[in-house]
Amino acid sequence: MDERQHVEQCMEIIDTYRGGYFNGRPWLRDAFESIPRSHFVPDRVWWPERDTDGLYPVFDRTADPERWLEAVYTPTAALITQIADGKISPKDGPTESSDFTSSISCPAVVVQMLHHLDPQPGEKVLEIGTGTGYNAALLAHRVGAGHLTTVEIDPSTAEQARATLHIRDAPAPHVFVADGEGGYTPHAPYDRLISTACVQRIPPAWLEQVKPGGVILTPVATPFGDDALTLLTVDDVGHAKGRLVAAVRFMRVRSQRQRRPWRELGWPRLPDFELTAGPDGQSIRQS
C-alpha cells in the first residue's frame, strides 16, 4: 500500500469511528490530505505498546519501510519520539522504559483537537509543544505561517522541527525554544492557544496572552485515569471558562509533572458526586 492509500484509509476510519471531525472543517481535510505526515516522523520511533518480550519495539523506516508507514497512519497510535527526556535513543533499540516524554500524536487526536480549536485564516495562534512540527504544519496551512508561533522546551527537538518545517515547499512558522508554561510574550496577544502537552493547572501566562474572547485548547489532568481535552474561552478580566470535550492522553509539561492534590486543583472528591438511576438509565452529577 502506498502513502496515498494509507492517507485515504486513515481519513475514512477517522470519519467513520471518530465523530466525523473532518465534517464542517474542509480546510482540515485539505491540510491532512496535502501535508504528508510521514515527512514529520523520524526514521526510528517506538511503538507505544509492549511486544511479547515486554519491550517497546522500534519501527525503523530503513529496515522495514512498510511497517513504519503503516504505523505512521494508524489512526489511534501515537508514535514515541523521545524517552526519558532523550536519555534513551531509538538507536538503542527496544526498551522496557515507559518514561515517554515526546511523541507525534495519533492522527485521530490531531484531527479532533484542530476541529475543536477551529482556527480562522489570519488569526494569531500560539502552539505549546512543537514536537515533530506536524501539528504546526497543519495549523500554518490554515492561519498562515506568519501568524503561527510554536514553542518547544527541548532544544534538539525544536531544531529538528524547525529544519523539517523549513525544507517543505511552504512558508514555515516561527519555532522558538521556550518553556510553554510561560507562553511566548513577544508575539502576544493571541487569538487562540493550543497545547499538545497536558497541564494540571492552566498557566496564568496563557490567560494573560490570549485576547478576551480568545480560545485555549489543552489537555488537563483528571483524577479519572484519562486526561480531559478542555476548550476554554478567555474573558476580559483574565479568567477563562469552558467545557471538557473529550477524553485523551498526553504527556505533561515538564514543570507540572509532579502530582499535586486533586482538591488543590479544584477537582471534587468522589463523595461530592451523586448517582441517580431509573428505568431509562442513570445520571451522575456533583452534589
> C-alpha cell of 237?
478580566
- The model carries a pTM of 0.92
Predicted confidence band at 271 (pLDDT cuts at 50, 70, 90)?
confident
DSSP 50-86: --TTSSBPEEETTT-HHHHHHHHT-TT-PEEEEEGGG
Residues 4, 23: Cα–Cα separation, whole Å: 20
pLDDT > 80? residue 193 = yes
SS3 (DSSP) at 17: helix
Q: What is the pLDDT of residue 252?
A: 92
Residue 26: cis peptide before it, omega within 30 degrees of 0 = no
pLDDT > 80? residue 262 = yes
Q: What is the pLDDT of residue 268?
A: 87
Locate CATH 3.40.50.150 in the chain. 107-260
Residues 74, 133: Cα–Cα separation, whole Å: 18
Q: What is the pLDDT of residue 155?
A: 96
Question: What would the pLDDT profile of 61-73 be if each residue is shown by its tens digit?
Answer: 999 999 999 999 9
Residues 215, 235: Cα–Cα separation, whole Å: 10
Which residue has 496535502 as its cell numbers?
A: 34
Residues 200, 168: Cα–Cα separation, whole Å: 35
Among the listed residues 89, 98, 103, 105, the single catalytic one is: 105
- What's the order of all strands across the beta sheet hosting 125-128? 174-177, 148-152, 125-128, 190-195, 210-220, 227-234, 240-248
107-260 CATH: 3.40.50.150
Higher-confidence residue of 20 and 233: namely: 233
Question: What would the pLDDT profile of 14-34 be if each residue is shown by its tens digit?
Answer: 998 877 899 889 999 999 999
**Among candidate residues 245, 264, 260, the one with its CA nearest the CA of residue 109:** 245
Q: What is the pLDDT of residue 276?
A: 87
Helices (H), the chain: 3-17, 26-34, 65-72, 107-117, 134-143, 155-166, 204-209
Q: What is the pLDDT of residue 270?
A: 80
Whether residue 283 lies in the annotated active site: no
- The alpha carbon dihedral of 196, 114, 221, 248 has a sign of negative
